[in-house]
Amino acid sequence: MKNNIKVERAIKGLTQEGLAIKVAVSRQTINAMEANKYVPSTVLALKVAKIFNKTVEEIFILEKGD
């Protein structure tokens, strides 16, 4: 699963740490999501999308085989 977290963070001027605090996870979790090494729970995906005022589908992109 790909995502646009890094791009959206840049638009909002948020660091990984800043986003992590807002969604109550570690900075390492944000880093892993951005690197496509961690698939977030539904709740976390919804929290991230809400921070950026986007839908989950606008942030997270399913790829063939996901």
Q: How many CB atoms lie within 10 A of CB 30?
A: 27
Q: Could you tell me the residue ranges of all domains in the chain?
A: 2-61
State pTM to two decimals: 0.92
Give the pLDDT confidence score for residue 63 in this predicted structure.
85
Q: How many CB atoms lie within 10 A of CB 55?
A: 11
pLDDT tens-digit profile, the chain (66 residues): 899 999 999 999 999 999 999 999 999 999 999 999 999 999 999 999 999 999 999 999 988 877
Mention the CATH class of domain 2-61.
mainly alpha
Answer yes or no: are the C-beta atoms of 28 and 63 closer than 8 Å.
no
Polymer length in residues for the chain: 66
Give the pLDDT confidence score for residue 47 in this predicted structure.
98
